[in-house]
Amino acid sequence: MGVIIKIIKKTVDTVVGRVCDVCEQSLYVDVDGQTIEECGELRAKLGFGSKQDGQCYQIDLFESCFMVAFYTLRDKRKTEFMFSDKNDFFDENFGLKLDC
């Protein structure tokens, strides 16, 4: 009996670098000689009834770019509720997830 050798080729995706989609700065920072990924992500998967039904979005953001987007959305919230009876429109913990 002969020996049967089966060769299988596999393609492997390897992340070599990741950059901010806004400023194109690397999302990897050096902290005490260790390379750490510091990244904010903005994601959306829009569903039935939306004008963008079925569309998915993901934006990788460097910390400063993420904070610009965050502050813009927080200010939008303040503007939306500025003259309403809702008096907690300014929440200092807006968007903050404490269990991450």
Domain coordinates of the chain in residue numbers? 28-81
Find all residues with CB under 8 Å of 62, minimum gap 6, and list them.
Answer: 20, 22, 23, 25, 27, 38, 39, 40
| pTM for the whole structure | 0.68
Residues 18-42: tens digit of each pLDDT: 899 999 999 998 999 999 888 899 9
**What whole-number distance in Å separates Cα of residue 42 and Cα of residue 95?**
12
Give tens-digit pLDDT for 50-91.
888 888 999 999 999 999 999 999 888 888 887 777 666 667
- Which phi and psi (to 5°) does residue 80 adopt? -60, -35
